[in-house]
Amino acid sequence: MHNIKPETGGFFPRDRNWHPKAYTPDYKTSVVRSPQKALISFPNTVGEITGPMFGHDLLGELDDDLIYNYAKPGESAIGERIIVYGKVLDERGRGIPGVLVEFWQANAAGRYRHRNEGYLAPLDPNFGGCGRTISGEDGSYRFRTVKPGPYPWPNGVNDWRPSHIHFSIFGTGFAQRLITQMYFEGDPLIWQCPIVRTINDEAAIKQLTAALDMANTIPMDARAYKFDIVLRGRRSTLFENRMEGN
| Residue of 166, 177, 223, 242 with catalytic role | 166
Distance of CA 14 to the CA centre of its chain: 20
| Residue of 27, 161, 183, 225 with catalytic role | 161
Three-state SS at 29:
helix
Residues 234, 17 contacting (CB under 8 angstroms): no
Q: Which residues of 94-103 are buried (b: 16+ CB within 10 A; e: fewer)?
A: ebbebbbbbb
Q: Is 225 one of the catalytic residues?
A: no
| Residue of 81, 144, 164, 232 with catalytic role | 164
Residues 150, 210 contacting (CB under 8 angstroms): no
Q: Is 151 one of the catalytic residues?
A: yes
Q: Is 161 one of the catalytic residues?
A: yes
Q: Is 166 one of the catalytic residues?
A: yes
CA distance 26 to 193: 10
CA distance 168 to 49: 17
Comparing CA positions, the residue from 143, 149, 227 lying closest to residue 185 is 227
| Residue of 70, 85, 141, 151 with catalytic role | 151
| Residue of 70, 85, 112, 225 with catalytic role | 112
- By annotation, the residues acting in catalysis are 112, 151, 161, 164, 166
